[in-house]
Amino acid sequence: MTQMQKGPMQSNMDMGELVDVEENHNALVVTPRFRRLDATVAPAFRDHIEPLLHDRRLVVFALGSVRFMDSSGLGSLVSLLKLLPAGGVVRLAEVNTALKKLLTQTRLNNVLPVFPTVALAVSGAFGEPGPADQAGSGRERTATGS
């Protein structure tokens, strides 16, 4: 049996140094400061955020620094949504074009709605409606899946 080599995020680095967390009105706003939310980072990211979700109704992930996300990153966001109490909501803000495309292709944009800014995500206002919003398909899902 060989020992797995540790990646840069699996070392003793504190995830708290790489993620900013703040209160913004009624929301917990989580801002990762890393460029990739992938299999190397996702488990530690999820483990760092999970204890902060107790009794939360709204969590906003400000993904402006994240340039790449794989299935592990997507899975971490969905699993965090599932940890929220009934009626809890996860929203994404400041998502780049490539990540928007990934969310659309996987249809996760129906579960993790995307907002242009943190302020709009916190308020729930979409700003300029896109084609999906105009067609009525951009409904927000809650932790109960409704």
Quote the pTM value: 0.78
Q: What is the DSSP letter of 72?
A: H
Instruction: Give yes or no for a contact between 112 and 140, defined as CB atoms under 8 angstroms apart.
Output: no
The amino acid at 55: D
Three-state secondary structure call for residue 28 = strand
Domains of the chain: 17-126 (3.30.750.24)
Q: What is the pLDDT along the chain (146 residues), one digit of tens a residue?
A: 333 333 444 444 577 789 999 999 889 999 999 999 999 999 999 999 999 998 899 999 999 999 999 999 999 999 999 999 999 999 999 999 999 999 999 999 999 999 999 999 999 876 544 444 333 334 455 555 44
Three-state secondary structure call for residue 15 = helix
Question: Could you give phi then psi for residue 113, rounded to 5 degrees?
Answer: -65, 145
